[in-house]
């Protein structure tokens, strides 16, 4: 089994699917890329058992076959080449690999491709098409809010809810929550599932610059995403997602409208003086004036800033974790944001004053922290 391929084209595809690889694997075969030749096409796969990613590349080849090639070694040697053709020769009995370039020859030992885990086939799946741009944005806007708690695996992924009149993506870690809704996308039937963070992070990077749609095929246990020459299949998180609608307060009579960057910069500066365990910043709203303050009594550090804002409601004082506020403000793109409040012990809701895109509805929720008077 021999084939000729461009070094840079191969490296680009390997780096894309290589994000799936773990640094330590239970099965040694997972430290390899699977190369499969069919006709003039090379299919490359990488897997960690939970997530499998494949991509295709045109090559010059005369014979079909497959081999597993050590991933790290192959990536390291490819990074050192300028763009030029490489010839791969694979011994079908020993799975020894010889790579020939203009500079010389390099030998490495591969493994039998048949030992590589087979990609799961999806039985009785449902399908929905989503624009690559929309999916990339949905992941980008929600993934930062997903949890990392192994004891609550359902909260460590992104909840995808397909309805006949909209599509909703939700992420939460119990302290903050983001709901990203698209009213311009519809599914044929209602369904929902939870996708782990790792495959979502991989897609977030790869979807940038992809034109057209992503075909999402899914059943109860797996989901498959086809886009821009890549296929990503991942195991879904099993379990029931918390009822996020119940957490979002409906009655929020107090509305604060403020320039997003002014608030972001102010919290950034003030939070440097906050207590290092609670990261608490205090927002005190009095008429059209917002006071942002923080203190660390252990070290006698404190900071206070005043901002002008538009405010409807009763004067109020509320505390938030500055790190959560900064994450949320950083992930909003709008010029002005609205902070909706009901009481100092109830969640605050952050929404853009104007939607950034048509059909888009973003809501971010943050739990308050108890103020120490």
Q: What is the mean pLDDT of the chain?
A: 93
At a CB cut-off of 8 Å and minimum separation 6, what does 336 contact? 257, 258, 259, 260, 352, 353, 354
Q: Which CATH architecture has domain 2-115?
A: Roll (3.10)
294 in Cβ contact with 256 (< 8 Å) = no
Residue 370: per-residue pLDDT: 84
Q: Percentage of the chain with pLDDT > 90?
A: 86
**pLDDT tens profile 231-271:** 999 999 999 999 999 999 999 999 999 999 999 999 999 99
Residue 373: per-residue pLDDT: 60
Mean pLDDT for the stretch of residues 128-133: 92
Residue 124 clears pLDDT 90, i.e. is over it: no
Residue 1 clears pLDDT 90, i.e. is over it: no
Mean pLDDT for the stretch of residues 20-24: 90
Residue-range domain boundaries for the chain: 2-115, 126-244, 248-366
Q: What is the pTM (predicted TM-score) of this model?
A: 0.91
Residue 189: per-residue pLDDT: 86
**pLDDT tens profile 80-122:** 999 989 999 999 999 999 999 999 999 999 999 999 999 888 9
CATH number for 126-244 (one of 3.10.150.10, 3.40.50.300, 3.30.1490.20, 2.40.50.100): it is 3.10.150.10
Residue 181 clears pLDDT 80, i.e. is over it: yes
Q: In this structure, which topology does domain 248-366 adopt according to CATH?
A: DNA Polymerase III; Chain A, domain 2 (3.10.150)
DSSP string for 23-54: SS-SSGGGGEEEEEEETTEEEEEEE-SSEEEE
Domains 2-115 and 126-244 are alike in CATH topology: yes
Q: How confident is the model at residue 149 (pLDDT cuts 50, 70, 90)?
A: confident
């Amino acid at each position: 089994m021999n084939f000729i391929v461009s070094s840079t084209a191969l490296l680009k595809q390997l780096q894309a699917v290589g994000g799936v690889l773990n640094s330590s694997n239970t099965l040694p075969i997972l430290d390899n890329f699977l190369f499969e030749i069919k006709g003039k096409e090379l299919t490359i796969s990488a897997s960690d058992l939970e997530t499998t990613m494949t991509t295709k590349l045109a090559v010059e080849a005369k014979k079909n076959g497959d081999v597993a090639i050590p991933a790290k070694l192959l990536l390291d040697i490819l990074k050192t080449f300028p763009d030029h053709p490489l010839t791969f020769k694979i011994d079908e009995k020993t799975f020894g690999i010889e790579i020939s370039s203009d500079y010389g020859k390099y030998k490495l030992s591969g493994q039998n491709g048949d030992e590589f885990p087979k990609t799961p086939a999806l039985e009785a799946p449902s399908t929905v098409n989503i624009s690559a741009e929309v999916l990339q944005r949905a992941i980008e806007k929600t993934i930062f809010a997903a949890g990392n708690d192994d004891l609550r695996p359902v909260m460590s992924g992104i909840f995808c809810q397909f309805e006949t009149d909209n599509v909703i993506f939700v992420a939460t870690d119990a302290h903050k929550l983001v709901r990203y809704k698209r009213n311009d996308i519809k599914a044929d039937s209602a369904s929902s599932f939870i996708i782990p963070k790792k495959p979502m992070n991989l897609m977030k990077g790869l979807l940038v610059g992809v034109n057209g749609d992503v075909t999402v095929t899914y059943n109860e246990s797996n989901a498959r995403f086809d886009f821009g020459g890549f296929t990503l299949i991942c195991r879904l998180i099993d379990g029931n997602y918390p009822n996020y609608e119940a957490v979002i307060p409906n009655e929020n009579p107090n509305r604060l409208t403020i320039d997003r960057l002014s608030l972001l910069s102010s919290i950034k500066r003030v939070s440097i003086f906050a207590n290092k365990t609670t990261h608490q910043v205090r927002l005190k709203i009095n008429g059209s004036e917002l006071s942002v303050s923080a203190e660390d009594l252990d070290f006698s550090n404190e900071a206070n800033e005043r901002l002008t804002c538009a405010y409807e409601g009763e004067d109020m004082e509320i505390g938030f974790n500055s790190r959560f506020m900064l994450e949320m403000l950083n992930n909003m793109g709008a010029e002005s944001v609205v902070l909706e409040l009901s009481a100092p012990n109830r969640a605050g809701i952050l929404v853009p004053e104007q939607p950034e895109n048509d059909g888009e509805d973003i809501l971010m929720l943050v739990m308050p922290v108890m103020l120490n008077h």
